[in-house]
Amino acid sequence: MMQEYKVLGVKVQAIPQYVVKETLHTFLNSDTQNQIVTVNPEFVVATRKDKKFLNVINQASLATIDGNGIVKALQFLGNDISLDKRLTGVDLTKIIIDLAIRDQLKVLFCLNSKGLTTVEDLSKKLKSKYPELRFAVADEYNALELSRIERPRLVLVGFGAPYQDMWIYENLTKMYKDII
């Protein structure tokens, strides 16, 4: 039920939420690490100048549609697709957190040290909102070390694009090996 498209050479996949849940289970039960990207119009623009970023997106295990502009571009290109085919980063994060709580999987959240939220603030918010969630929080300086110590099954990186996607691509194999 997943449909793959190209927008100016950038892979995007329309995937219903129930299929993404099945896909995450498949990823978790495989022996490979998987990168998921949430493609928005800014990604497409950035890939016009950055071919390495284009390669990272097109090699990702899953490239969801994050942004109305992607849907509108696909419609303009003649594809029969509606806005309900989007799976935003926020929606995907919620699905991953729910899955982690249900299956008691540890999540590593990685933040940009120069961002608006500190590691301490996010830790407090997560403990308050999701008391059953097993997690650790790192920044770009200690994420690799913390992944080896904490041994998470899932990693959510919020460094900002394209930096976060490039960082995942370059560092995924250096992290604890059971990560999707």
Confidence at residue 175, expressed as pLDDT on a 0 to 100 scale: 86
Q: How large is the average pLDDT for residues 11-33?
A: 92
Q: How far apart are CA 42 and CA 51, in angstroms?
A: 14
| β-strand pairing of 10-14 with 36-39 | unpaired
One-letter amino acid at 101 equals: I
Q: How far apart are CA 85 and CA 67, in angstroms?
A: 10
Q: How large is the average pLDDT for residues 50-63?
A: 98
| β-strand pairing of 3-7 with 36-39 | unpaired
Domain ranges of the chain: 3-174
What ranges make up the beta strands (E) of the chain? 3-7, 10-14, 36-39, 62-65, 106-111, 134-139, 154-158
Dihedrals phi, psi of 65, to nearest 5 degrees: -90, 115
Q: How large is the average pLDDT for residues 56-81?
A: 96
Confidence at residue 76, expressed as pLDDT on a 0 to 100 scale: 96
160, 116 Cβ separation under 8 angstroms:
no
The overall pTM is greater than 0.75: yes
In eight-state DSSP terms, residue 84 is: G
